[in-house]
Amino acid sequence: MARSELAEFALDPVFADFLDDVARRTPPDASVAVLVPPRPDVYRYQAVYFLAPRRVLDAERISQAQFVAIYARAAESAPGAETLTNGSLSRR
Amino acid sequence: MNPGGAAAVLAALTVTWLTGKALTRTLARKVGFGEAIAWAGAAGLSFQAALFAVLAALGVDPGARWLLAGDAAAIAASFVVRARAQTSPPAPAPFPVRDPLALVLTGVAGFAWLIFLIAAVAEPMWSTDFLAIWGMKGKAMFLAGSLPGRLFQDPALYWSHREYPLLVPLCLASIARLAGAWNDQALAIVFPVIELWTLLLLGGFVRRRTGSSVCGAAAAALAALCFPLYHPVNAGTAEIPFAFGAVLLSCAALDSPGPRVAAGRLFLAALFCAGAKQEGTLFAFLLAAALVLASIRPARATQWKSASLLVAVPAALWLLLYLLRGPQTRRDFDFQLFGPSHWPELARRFESVLSRMLFREGREAIVSLLAIGLFLLITRKGFSDLLLAVLAGQIFFYAVAFSLSSFDPMYAIDGAFRRIATTLFPVLALILAARLPRPPVAQGAV
């Protein structure tokens, strides 16, 4: 069964694929700012849990990140950003 | 589920339990078969968590080899201690449950446990508290092979309750290390296993103390039917371990004053209960107060000793965690409300909180609450009634805590009260089962 079909991603199954894409494209010791919808909180918690051991940061700490992953907000992607499932990833 | 992953976690749990069995060789003397299994489980999990933390503190990556070596050393040491003590503990009694009613109740408990087992392992652990707190910390410890300072210092993790005790994340990390992988579906097995130990302890303890296998089986069945507690949402969180800790502590306290082994069980139970959740420290302190009040007439020094242990162990654990992670703010609580100028506001909040707990949460459970109240009225006093005061105190302090909430107290009640209240249900099951009339055939039979 794909992770996106599980109860933990029942709220937004596509988010599982997005996190898989981020994990594949960033090294385990990277710091990644993951910009997700502010509500519900579970987006943030899922990102931190599934991307471990990467240091996952929120929008307020974007200056400390080596990568910026944006979910579901294509218009905010930086020029040259890599396209992910329903999102984008750029190196800072 | 990946059968290999499940087998690895089961093997890790078996090693953990065998280590605990060796460590409790003396401690679990004079208790029944089921109780001995539960005490071994508690000791094994506590030892495994402590071993992981000690190895990490020494700068050693706590891999499976080191953990197994530590377990083997503990088992060998237990044989040495046993030889020196020259004691031969009596062989634990098997399950001579012949009463048909006891058999039915045991079957009910077993069936309810099976439902939770299947539901818990059907999917990877998914609850918000697992992802944000317990599982996140456990996974970080597993991956780092240490207790990463980031968990306690990184401002980006401000929401992860850095002040919470670490028994559950350390247990998950050490079991995963023993199993060789972080498999968040296979690791869910830990929680039905802890439930099983809780039921065995309840059943065994009540049976030993009442002399009735029906009372013992009723305690286990009643607790097992608490589906809001034994629910997949609680797989991966500290609720089920805390419920186990509260039962361990209750049983150990009710066996005190007693021989030194009873004090040993009290020590282990206090460590487990306070190590699982902050509520565990509160439970230990309230139990200490209840023991002191109960022993005023006639004054019995041993109860004071037990009470001292119940205060000292959580306090020592708190000090250890303080030294490990430094001061941690409790962002959930606004302690300024204790200031005299805020007392009117605090009183208003407390009134609102009580009203919400009674007229909303209480109303939804009105049938169960009335049935429990009626049962307490019509049955004779039981040997565990002391625990009623502890449970009432626990609920009272939950109300105080909600009143101090930094956020909307009503939001806090709606989000947490039912969850934390249900963790006390296995202790309530003990109290209720101890009040059951004992069938004449079972009188005196242990």
Task: Kindly provide the ipTM of the predicted complex, given to two decimals.
Answer: 0.90
Order of strands, sheet of A31-35, starting from the edge strand that comes earlier in the sequence: A55-57, A31-35, A67-71, A87-91, A82-84
User: pLDDT tier at B444 (50, 70, 90 boundaries)?
Assistant: very low
Cα–Cα distance measured from residue B209 to residue B215, given in angstroms and rounded to the nearest whole number:
10
**Average pLDDT of the residues in B164-174:** 97
- Which one of A1, A6, A49 would you mutate to disrupt binding with B, by most B Cβ within 10 Å of its Cβ? A49
Contacts of B140 in chain A (CB under 8 A): 52-53
Cα–Cα distance measured from residue B148 to residue B154, given in angstroms and rounded to the nearest whole number:
10
- What are the phi and psi torsion angles at B359 (to 5°)? -95, -10
A1-9 LR contacts (CB < 8 Å, sep 24+): A3/B124, A6/B123, A6/B124, A6/B126, A7/B123, A7/B126, A7/B232, A8/A46, A8/B123, A8/B124, A8/B125, A8/B126, A8/B131, A9/A46
- What are the phi and psi torsion angles at A67 (to 5°)? -130, 150
Tokens of B404: 């101090």
Using CB atoms, pick whichever of A8, A41, A61 lies closest to residue B156: A61
Coil, strand or helix: which one is A84?
strand
How much is the pLDDT for B93? 54
Using CB atoms, pick whichever of A8, A42, A53 lies closest to residue B140: A53
B159 to A49: CB separation less than 8 angstroms, yes or no: no
Which residues does A contribute to its contact with B (CB < 8 Å)?
A: 3, 6-8, 28, 41-42, 44-46, 48-49, 52-53, 55-58, 61
Residue B52, amino acid: F
Distance from the Cα of A34 to chain B's closest Cα (Å) equals 12
Whole-number percent of chain B with pLDDT over 70: 93
**Which residues have CB under 8 Å from A23's CB, separation 6+?**
A50, A51, A54
Look at residue B91 and tell me whether its pLDDT is greater than 80.
no
Contacts of B136 in chain A (CB under 8 A): 45, 48-49, 52
How much is the pLDDT for B299? 55
B404 CA to centre of own chain: 25
Please say whether the beta carbons of B432 and B388 come within 8 A. Answer: no
DSSP B122-169: SS----HHIIIIIHHHHHHHHHHTS--THHHH-GGGTTS-TTS--HHH
How much is the pLDDT for B440? 63
- Which one of A11, A39, A45 would you mutate to disrupt binding with B, by most B Cβ within 10 Å of its Cβ? A45
Other C-beta atoms within 10 Å of B287: how many? Answer: 30
A49 to B143: CB separation less than 8 angstroms, yes or no: no
User: Token match 């329903």: residue?
Assistant: A86
Q: What is the chain B residue with the closest CA to A62? A: B156
What number of CA atoms fall less than 13 Å from residue B172's CA on the CB side? 33
User: pLDDT tier at B446 (50, 70, 90 boundaries)?
Assistant: very low
Residue-wise over B156-193: b if at least 16 C-beta within 10 A, else e? bbeebbbbbbbbbbbbbbbbbbbbeebbbbbbbbbbbb
Continuous segment of H or E residues that includes residue A31: strand A31-35
Tokens of A14: 């596509």
What number of CA atoms fall less than 13 Å from residue B249's CA on the CB side? 38
Look at residue B324 and tell me whether its pLDDT is greater than 50.
yes
How much is the pLDDT for B315? 97
Using CB atoms, pick whichever of A7, A45, A52 lies closest to residue B132: A45
Q: What rounded mean pLDDT belongs to chain B? A: 91
A8 to B155: CB separation less than 8 angstroms, yes or no: no
Tokens of B198: 């809780």
Using CB atoms, pick whichever of A6, A49, A58 lies closest to residue B131: A49
Any bridge partners for residue A87, and if so which?
A: A71, A84
Look at residue A7 and tell me whether its pLDDT is greater than 70.
no
Dihedral angle over CA of B134, B277, A40, A25, nearest 10: -10
Radius of gyration from C-alpha coordinates of chain B:
21
Q: What is the chain B residue with the closest CA to A10? A: B126
User: pLDDT tier at A34 (50, 70, 90 boundaries)?
Assistant: very high
Whole-number percent of chain B with pLDDT over 90: 77
Using CB atoms, pick whichever of B123, B136, B150 lies closest to residue A49: B136
What is the DSSP pairing of strand A31-35 with strand A82-84? unpaired
Contacts of B128 in chain A (CB under 8 A): 41-42, 45
**Residue ranges of the alpha helices (H) in B326-379?**
343-356, 362-364, 366-378
Residue B118, amino acid: I
Tokens of B382: 């039981």
- Which one of B2, B128, B146, B150 would you mutate to disrupt binding with A, by most A Cβ within 10 Å of its Cβ? B128
Please write the tens of the pLDDT for every residue from B360-372. 888 989 999 999 9
Which residues does B contribute to its contact with A (CB < 8 Å)?
A: 123-126, 128, 131-132, 135-136, 139-140, 143-144, 150, 154-157, 159-160, 232
**Degrees to nearest 5, angle at CA A44 with A40 and A46:** 100
Cα–Cα distance measured from residue B105 to residue B122, given in angstroms and rounded to the nearest whole number:
26
Looking at B150-164, B258-272, B277-291, which range is the least confident one?
B258-272
Look at residue B95 and tell me whether its pLDDT is greater than 60.
no
Distance from the Cα of B93 to chain A's closest Cα (Å) equals 43
**Degrees to nearest 5, angle at CA B371 with B369 and B375:** 115
Contacts of A53 in chain B (CB under 8 A): 140, 143-144
Look at residue B222 and tell me whether its pLDDT is greater than 90.
yes
Using CB atoms, pick whichever of B139, B154, B156 lies closest to residue A49: B139
Coil, strand or helix: which one is A34?
strand
**Which residues have CB under 8 Å from B12's CB, separation 6+?**
B175, B176, B178, B179
B157 to A52: CB separation less than 8 angstroms, yes or no: no
A45 to B131: CB separation less than 8 angstroms, yes or no: yes
Contacts of B124 in chain A (CB under 8 A): 3, 6, 8
A48 to B136: CB separation less than 8 angstroms, yes or no: yes
Cα–Cα distance measured from residue B356 to residue B360, given in angstroms and rounded to the nearest whole number:
5
Cα–Cα distance measured from residue B203 to residue B216, given in angstroms and rounded to the nearest whole number:
4
Question: Environment class of residue B25 by beta-carbon count within 10 Å: exposed (0-12), middle (13-18) or buried (19+)?
Answer: buried
